[in-house]
Structure formats: C-alpha cells, structure tokens
Structure 1
C-alpha cells in the first residue's frame, strides 16, 4: 500500500509554521538546560574543560572524556547521572547524533549493568519522546525533508506487515536503517506506539551492551579490537531475530499449498 505523502503535506500545511516554532521553543529549553548544567558543574581544570567541551571523534578522545567524567562520578555522582540522562534524552528526543558516545562511556561511569540499565531507559524514553514529537509537531517537517526515505522505510515495513514487531527488532539490532530515521518515520507510516516501544526497549539492548563493553575496553587502555566482534555479534543477533517471522511466513505458505 502506497503512502500518500501529498495528502500529508496538505494536512500539515496549515500548522507547519506554528509547529516549527513550538519545536524550536522546546529545543531552546533543552539548550538552556545544558547551560544550567554547565553553570552548576564542579570545578574543572582548563585541561579537563578542553576534553569535556568538544565533540569526541576518535577512540582516544572518547577515552579522555570518560576519564574526566569518571573522576567526578565518585564525588558528584548525582550531578554526573543527571547530566548524562539529560543529554541522552535531549539528543535522542530531537534525533541529534551523539547518544552512542554516551553509551560508550556509560559503563566506565556507572558500571556495566547499571550503565546498561540507564542507557536502556534513556534510549527507550528518548526514542518514544521523538516518536510523539514527530507525530504531534514534526510530521509536516519530516514529510517535506525526507520523502524518499519515508517511502523506503514504509515499503520495507509493508513487506513485513504481518511481523512488524520482529522486523523492527531486527532493524534495532542491525541498524541498516538509522535509529533516528525509525524514530521520526514510525508514526508517519502507521507503526503503533506499543509496537514501537517494545521493539525499541528490547531491540536496543544488544547494541547498547556492545557499546558499553567497547567503551569499557577503551577506558582500560584497550584498543578497538572488539569492533569486528561487535559487528559480527550484531549480525548474528539480527539473523536470530529474523528467524521467527521467516518461519511463520514459511508455515503460512505451506498451509496455503496444502
């Protein structure tokens, strides 16, 4: 079934400007929150500030960032936890790249299992907020910005419409479709919030676990040798998750032939 984006454009035209403004206000509140956290930050040396107030792009920079935050976690645990959750939710809610860096350092800051719990809650909550922002305010912007991508995701989902939950789990574990795109397009292509929430909650656990383990290896002066193992594990998990819908489809076709 083809998705009628032209009708969606017409439906959202009336409130497009207002919704853009509302999103801008919400995002501005988030940015204001960051400045408040900066103002309340514990005292840092100039060297520590140079490592914190930059975008970490290399394993070494991620390692240095985790070490700075680790040194403050013991004495300012609540502050570090609050800042971590706030940044994760802000980036996930507005589809901003960066949560993976927070996932990488979470194990070093909070421990493997507590870090996984925190990241799972933040990732699921942030993705759900993104879903609702897209549905309520962002639909008109998204259908104009990513029409081709929406159609591709919709086409892929339609091919698996009888096993949408399993397929979404597969996409979360093996991100052949970027997670931010799934978050933005899901309400537009008609994926129910319950299905979206469950697929996000359980589907993001395996990659988050891999990110945390990789980050802990980096923090202990390890290397990125885990990367290839992580990729292989993601592929294996994705294949395993796809087995139930494949089996059900085979079973259904077999019954039809009989």
Structure 2
C-alpha cells in the first residue's frame, strides 16, 4: 500500500475502519472516508491522521447517484489520484421471510446494491483518467458475504443483496478490464464485531467452522488490503470467501 490513496465507503467504523488502520500501517499515505455518520467520521479521521495519514472525509447518502458521486469527487479533489476503492458500507437487518416489507427491501437494496454500484461508477470514472496500459490503473474491492452462498434464517433480503454484489463485481471486472481496473470482492463469514456479538451467532459459527473459531475483523481486513494493494496485479472478477472452513464454494 506504500504511497497509495484509498477511498473506503463505510470507513468510519467496523470493518471499514479496521481496514483503514491496516492500510495506513502498510504505508497508505492518503485515506478517504465516506460515511453517513458525521461524528464517527471526525473521530476516525483524527485517529488515522495521528497514525500519519492524510485524510479526507465526506458525509454522503450513497443510495443516490448524485450524492454518492459527489462524496467521491469531494474526497478525490482533496487527495488527488485515487488508486483503490473499498466498498464496506452495508446494513444488516434480520427478519423472518414472511415479515419482510417493501420498505425493508427498498432500504436494503438502496444501500447494499445501489450504493455499491454508485460508488463503483464514481471510482471507474475517476480511475479511467489515469489509464496507462499495461500498468494497473486502479483497484476496487467490494465486501460481500458468505450469506450470498449459504442460507441462514431471517436473512433472505440481506443475502440476496450480497449475491447481487458478487454479480456486480463480475460485471464491472469484465467491462473495466480494458482500462486495467481490477474489480474483486471478499466474502467474509461472520466475524467478531460488536454487532455480531449482540446477535449471538458467533458461538454457533465457531462450532461450524473447521478452525473452531470466529475470525477477528483484522483477519478479514488482511484480504481486503491484499486485493486493493499493488500486490494484486492479475486477479479480477474474483470473489474470495474467507470463512475458516465454514463454507467451501
């Protein structure tokens, strides 16, 4: 990640922030954070700046093209060329299949699918300015989920959106290959976030995993960093499942 500039959507907390910390540790010089929580953005930016990174932030509603693109452009205006985008923003509601309303579907699709799409479009438009074949122009990493491949109770609408993101990743990889923009996704199993601990499924996940434990967030961030870094020169259209042997795809 040395001297790279990276935009992380949903980077004010959770896996996005863990990824940002790891990227700065690995030499990323500039980090752009896009999130809807202004207070968390400020505190996370201050933390990363204390680690030595130049940080730009934008509060944005990623479910709309104009505000999503505006957020990316605002960050890029401050940081200059963006080498990588990480899409880590998502919502994770749980409801039985017979109770999922139209509003539930609309919100889930707006953030997890449309939001990811809008940010990818913004990144591709920006990165295409720097095409220099055969060098890699840019990298996009989408955070999906094993839920895209394995059914779980009370999870249908979330799982459907994550399957859609896997498909979007492959479509963008095909269309962006000529511009040397590499597009991949990372699909974690559940890992030890505060939200996962609250929901209480980690012990069950640990028992079902070949390794006998749930992952720590930084173990997932390692794979995101790899795919977003200059070490990735050939992988595109791939979805990497990181599950500790919970699922094999």
Superposed pair shares fold, TM > 0.5 = no
**TM-score, length of structure 1 as denominator length:** 0.30
Structure showing greater radius of gyration is 1
- TM-score when normalising by structure 2: 0.31
Kindly indicate which of the two structures has a greater share of residues assigned to strand: 2
Greater relative contact order (CA < 8 Å, ≥ 6 in sequence): 1
Greater percentage in helix:
1
